[in-house]
Amino acid sequence: MTETQARDASPAADGAIERAMRRALALAAQGPVTGGNPQVGCVLLDADGRVVAEGWHHGAGTPHAEIDALAKLAAAQGTEGATAAVARGLTAVVTLEPCNHTGRTGPCSEALIAAGVARVVYAVSDPGETSSGGATRLREADVEVEGGVLAAEAEAFLRRWLTAVRRGRPWVTVKWASTLDGRAAAADGTSQWITGAAARQRVHEQRAASDAILVGTGTVLADDPSLTARGDAGELLAAQPLPVVVGATPVPADAVLRRHPRGLVETATRDLDAVLADLHERGVRRAYVEGGPTLASAIVAAGLADEYLIYLAPALLGGDRLALGDLGIRTIADARRLRITAVEQLGDDLLVTAEPAAPSGTSTTRTTRTTEES
């Protein structure tokens, strides 16, 4: 039986449960999008469908949503630290299947069992190899379990994290800025600034919402970038992406990148599949590619781009300094078709957000690719 079928068949899937799940999704959105862990929310209901406690995951190393909600319930009862089953007979409504492993924190499945929860309702199964299995453990302890409530909404909310975990590589966003005729630089190589201040600030916000930022060694040698996420006044934002330099050439000892607050990862390889697999092992779930035409073209050609952020400036340059290089496409029938999901005006510039028209990796031209150094 599928999660959706189980949800339709259960008398627990009433209005109170769905309202609680929507509240749990809203709570989850308060958690950080970076850090490797999913955004999760939890609402505890009594037998009458009333909310008695709620919680969400505040970031890596902090209590998970279920444990956060249980701790708040215990605090309200004045039973912090006690062994009593503070949630006896309650229903836990969670956006993601409770985890069943010990990482920086203990398994949520065991915490719910110990607290005496009678029913657990969740939206989406945990796809993690080590963290999944919470539903099975709960059933073994005679806890009623129901999955698939508002599954489509939860899938959409967690899409980037779920995609990364299911594929074993980060969600890859490719960004570039170009003129309307597709040029990323003038004939002499200058490119600062193609876009205006509003567009550039949006880029810094997107960096802060990413676990890692990828560039090629050619970009590092040519531009000596800092790759930090900064505010309007140039101050460092609280969240910083991990800088990753893709290529075999070492980063110079005096490069600005060597003073990045997150440190620096040098891949020492141009094998993109290996690079992304390694980043996934490091906990990177969102990778932001900002490394110039060489790296961007290699990722697009390999079918590894999940999302495109294309900044278009109302200017013309002509010449051959294109935002993308050769993708190995020889006929229009093989064009990589995109689906535009949003268009936004930022000052005089446009931000076009797009995704592959077909899921990444399904193209017949998908190959293991490497990036060539500039």
The type of residue at 320 is D
Alpha carbon distances (Å) from 205 to 84, 166, 194, 261: 45, 26, 18, 17
100 class by beta-carbon count within 10 Å (0-12 exposed, 13-18 middle, 19+ buried): buried
Residue 177, classed as helix, strand or coil, is strand
Catalytic status, residue 66: yes
**Residue 240 backbone zone (phi > 0: left; psi -120 to 50: alpha; other: beta):** beta
Which residue of the set 3, 18, 54, 66 is catalytic? 66
Alpha carbon distances (Å) from 43 to 59, 76, 82, 347: 18, 15, 21, 41
Quote the distance between the C-alpha of residue 301 and its chain's center.
Answer: 22
Q: What are the tokens at 40?
A: 């999760």
As annotated, the active-site residues are 66
